[in-house]
Structure 1
Amino acid sequence: MPHSPLRSPTRPGATIATIAVACAALLTGCASTKAPAPTSFDFGPVAAPVTAMPAAASFPALVVADVNGPATLDTDRMFYRLMYANAQQALPYAYNRWAATPLQLLSQRLKARIAQGGVKVLSTTDATGGLPLLRLDMDEFSQNFASATQSTANISLRASLFRGHLLVDQRTFTRSADAPSADAAGGASALAATSDAIAADLLAWLATQPPR
């Protein structure tokens, strides 16, 4: 009695067809799995200061240079450090970026905050002779993880005040803030808060400088 087609041994052609269908389904599934869309962060809007900032009465106008810093801060990549694993290695977030470089973001923020303190802020290209100059150099701008669930934002900024070509004073400001979440969004939020704290420190310091 001939074998029923439903119970016949698997034919080579059918096997190849089955494999082809399975491969096509696998490839379709792979193609549909896309990497997460990149997310950009900045410091958010410049809101009114929580506490009154001292007005720098000695500086009706001040030339504020853009912030200088290492090459790792002149990129839109967001970095973090695992202090509990390897503090010497800065690791990039895979799908998160800054909307501008940290040097640009901090320059914009500090200038806006200084202007809020009552100082007329000029750029180096707009300045006229005789105005004091504030030079800013960033030594640290980082999100450091003490554990897998806890991190802090850290900024260290060196400010140098010049009148003419003479150095009047120099001060290093260091601030840190706890991140509200253990991710890029938490780091961005904490770094924005730390930048505002540095700006308040700068204004307080400028207010102590003697009039020209």
Structure 2
Amino acid sequence: MSVSSFATARTNALRLAVSVACLWLAGCSVLPKPPAQPVRYDFGPEPVAAAPASQAQRPAIALAEVEAPGLRDSETSVLYRLAYADAQVVRPYQLARWTRPPVQLVQQRLSSGLGRDRAVLLGGDGTAQPKVQGQSPAVLKVELEEFSHVFLSAQESVGWVRLRASLVDRQPQGDVLLGQTTFIAQQPAAGADAASGVRALTQATDKVVADMQAWLQQLGR
């Protein structure tokens, strides 16, 4: 074989190798990628708000299990609404989840928030309640009616939380309603994504807890 023929064969072999390598890389690029994993959120650390040293301990309450008639017990999706388009439709973010159902996260936030200056007994649904200093605590019943990232327009959105609270005094002759009200908080979201909605919902929940604490104090509880 002449030198020129050898060089030509060598060049052709290199070209073939490069072509095979390109085809292999192209084949790898079209292979299916593993699905993205959902990001899981909770409320994060609770804001620290120390009570004044002179503030007296408030009466204990029994916090019943928070109910959410409009949400499935196992629902953990971060939900949003397009109020400017289809306000009645609730949509889930595809890759955003709560670590637990929102009703449980709200329950925990209420328990810890209200418990800063009082004893909070859990499970106030039953008729038999332990007594605190010889008295049965009033029962706080809460329904979570709205908990979603609501878009008022394509650019403006809020974390929307609405709770309905009832304070009941259990008496041998029957329950006595001490007070009932609805708390609504709409916290502006910094962006139009799930993470911004989660932060706004967390802040709105903390606002509702603070408002509920003030309401209980107005009722003398």
**Corresponding position of 2:208:** 198
Q: Alpha-carbon deviations, 1:48-73, whole Å to 9, x = none?
A: 13997xx785x421101121112435
Instruction: After TM superposition, give the deviation of residue 141 of structure 1 in Å.
Output: 1.0
Instruction: After TM superposition, give the deviation of residue 78 of structure 1 in Å.
Output: 1.1
Amino acid at match of 2:62: V
SS state at 1:87 partner: strand
Q: Aligned pair in 2 of structure 1 residues 96, 210: CA closer, same or farther (>3 Å)?
A: closer
CA distance in 1, matches of 2:29, 2:50: 51
User: Aligned to 2:138, which of 132, 147, 150?
Assistant: 132
Q: Which runs of 5+ in 1 are unaligned?
A: 1-5, 7-17
SS state at 2:91 partner: strand
**Corresponding position of 2:11:** none
Cα contact 1:79–1:143 (8 A) shared by 2? yes
Cα contact 1:73–1:102 (8 A) shared by 2? no
**Corresponding position of 2:37:** 37
CA distance in 2, matches of 1:189, 1:143: 10
**Corresponding position of 1:162:** 168
Deviates more, 1:190-199 or 1:126-135: 126-135
CA distance in 1, matches of 2:220, 2:38: 48
Instruction: After TM superposition, give the deviation of residue 36 of structure 1 in Å.
Output: 2.2
Cα contact 1:82–1:147 (8 A) shared by 2? yes
SS state at 2:214 partner: helix
Cα contact 2:59–2:137 (8 A) shared by 1? no
Instruction: After TM superposition, give the deviation of residue 190 of structure 1 in Å.
Output: 0.5
User: Could you list the runs of 4 or more consecutive aligned residues of structure 1 that deviate by over 6 angstroms after TM superposition?
Assistant: none
SS state at 1:36 partner: coil
The structure whose RCO (Cα within 8 Å, separation 6+) is larger is 1
For the aligned residue pairs, the C-alpha RMSD in angstroms reads 2.9
**Corresponding position of 1:186:** 196
**Corresponding position of 2:14:** none
Number of residues paired by the alignment? 191
**TM-score normalised according to structure 2 size:** 0.76
**TM-score normalised according to structure 1 size:** 0.79
